[in-house]
């Protein structure tokens, strides 16, 4: 071992407290009510997401893993990356395929994992550190909606991976802002590896977000537990049911928590009483599904040229390799 896994925090002290207060106040007083998905991921939420990735209904992880398994050597030789940066890295489980390929290729020196969840970063870093003693492994707690936190001093070329279909948690307004922020931090020679879930039959999509064992329901309700702990809120998770809906117009899954009765929930840290009608919903996550032409076009508008588009055999999921277009 070459030392401890280092966890860096780039955001100012109090950032997450302020962001949670702002998000929850806005989300619970808005119409319809909503909460951003980043608040799912405390230690328990990150564990539940890992459980979701192993569910029979949740095909995206297996599909993306199979593409990575097939293409990782091609990705390594196309990018020659000396640093792998991963946004929303979570457990970094699939990342091992990329780390191994880039090490076989002989270029990789560093892996920087970036996530909103300090718990997920600590857990993943603790496991990776002894497995990859030759690599400089760092973790950074970031909010990719505010500051991507790409390590600017890391050796280039850098390959930035954004896997798991997390791009789909951003709506049509947030994605261009994300591409612009990323594009502004990339240099010639850097590359983007993007995992995108594809439009398919709702009979496959909906169960992936509403599994028979109820793990996704627990994950969804975890945000209420986070609000209870962090804001002293009085949510009874059993007074809400998890629903997953295919929004055909927007081509996205929407996860919602539906109030089972009329109720008022106190949120003392915000001096707020959130009133719910029976059946009223909180939108807790969107998962946009993509098609090749529009996604390629929005990447081009964001300053990225598509180099490769790979899918799994059943064409459920796509992995894209793109590069920043010079002069943008």
Ligand X SMILES: C[S@@+](CC[C@H](N)C(=O)[O-])C[C@H]1O[C@@H](n2cnc3c(N)ncnc32)[C@H](O)[C@@H]1O
The helix/strand/coil state of 289 is coil
53, 209 Cβ separation under 8 angstroms:
no
Do β-strands 191-197 and 263-267 pair in parallel, antiparallel, or remain unpaired?
unpaired
CB of 69 to ligand X, least distance (A): 14
Give the C-alpha separation, 222 to 56, whole Å. 21
Q: Which stretch binds ligand X (CB under 6 A): 66-74, 84-92, 239-247, 320-328?
A: 84-92
Closest residue to ligand X using C-beta atoms = 164
CB of 61 to ligand X, least distance (A): 6
Q: Which of 150, 163, 282, 322 binds ligand X (CB under 6 A)?
A: 163
CB of 166 to ligand X, least distance (A): 4
CB of 153 to ligand X, least distance (A): 20
| Tokens standing for residue 46 | 């990150």
253, 247 Cβ separation under 8 angstroms:
yes
| Tokens standing for residue 164 | 């798991």
* H or E element in which residue 95 lies: helix 95-105
303: contact with ligand X by CB under 6 A:
no
Label residue 272 exposed, middle or buried (CB < 10 Å: 0-12, 13-18, 19+): middle
Q: Which of 19, 27, 79, 90 binds ligand X (CB under 6 A)?
A: 90
Q: Which of 53, 107, 222, 284 binds ligand X (CB under 6 A)?
A: 53
Query: CA torsion angle for 287, 292, 294, 295 (degrees, to 10)?
Result: 60
* H or E element in which residue 121 lies: helix 118-131
Q: Which stretch binds ligand X (CB under 6 A): 160-168, 215-223, 247-255, 293-301?
A: 160-168
CB of 46 to ligand X, least distance (A): 6
> Cβ closer to ligand X: 125 or 280?
125
144: contact with ligand X by CB under 6 A:
yes
256: contact with ligand X by CB under 6 A:
no
> Cβ closer to ligand X: 11 or 260?
11
41: contact with ligand X by CB under 6 A:
yes
Q: What x-and-dash track marks residues 97-136 binding ligand X by CB under 6 A?
A: ------------------xxx--x----------------
b/e for 284-318, b at 16 or more Cβ within 10 A? Answer: bbbbbbbebeebbeebeebbbebeeeebbeeebbb
Q: Tell me how far CA of residue 276 lies from CA of 65, 260, 261, 280, 284, in angstroms.
A: 41, 9, 8, 6, 15
Number of shown-chain residues binding ligand X (CB under 6 A): 20
Q: Which of 27, 125, 164, 302 binds ligand X (CB under 6 A)?
A: 164
Q: Which residues bind ligand X (CB under 6 A)?
A: 38, 41, 49, 53, 61, 88-90, 94, 115-117, 120, 142-145, 163-164, 166
């Amino acid at each position: 071992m070459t030392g401890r896994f280092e966890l860096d925090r780039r955001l100012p002290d109090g950032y997450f407290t302020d962001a949670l207060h702002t998000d929850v106040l806005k989300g619970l007083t808005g119409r319809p009510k909503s909460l951003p998905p980043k608040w799912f991921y405390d230690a328990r939420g990150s564990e539940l997401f890992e459980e979701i990735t192993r569910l029979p209904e949740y095909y995206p992880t297996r599909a993306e893993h199979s593409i990575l398994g097939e293409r990782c050597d091609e990705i390594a030789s196309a990018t020659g990356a000396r640093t792998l940066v991963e946004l929303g890295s979570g457990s970094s489980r699939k990342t091992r395929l990329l780390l191994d390929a880039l090490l076989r290729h002989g270029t990789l020196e560093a892996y920087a994992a970036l996530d909103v969840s300090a718990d997920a970063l600590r857990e993943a870093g603790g496991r990776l550190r002894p497995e990859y003693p030759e690599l400089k492994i760092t973790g950074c707690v970031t909010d990719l909606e505010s500051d991507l936190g790409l390590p600017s001093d890391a050796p280039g070329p850098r390959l930035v991976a954004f896997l798991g279909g997390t791009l789909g948690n951003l709506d049509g307004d947030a994605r261009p802002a994300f591409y612009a922020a990323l594009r502004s931090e990339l240099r010639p020679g850097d590359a983007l590896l993007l995992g995108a879930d594809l439009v398919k039959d709702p009979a496959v999509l909906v169960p992936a977000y509403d599994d028979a064992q109820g793990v996704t329901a627990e994950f969804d309700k975890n945000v209420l537990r986070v609000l209870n702990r962090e804001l002293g809120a009085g949510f009874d998770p059993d007074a809400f049911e998890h629903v997953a809906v295919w929004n055909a117009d927007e081509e996205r899954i929407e996860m919602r928590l539906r109030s089972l009765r009329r109720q008022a929930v106190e949120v003392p840290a915000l001096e707020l009483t959130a009133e719910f009608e029976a059946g009223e919903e909180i939108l807790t996550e969107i998962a946009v599904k993509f098609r090749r032409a529009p996604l390629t076009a929005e990447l081009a508008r964001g300053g990225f040229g598509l180099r490769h588009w790979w899918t799994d055999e059943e064409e459920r999921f796509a992995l894209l390799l793109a590069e920043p277009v010079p002069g943008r």
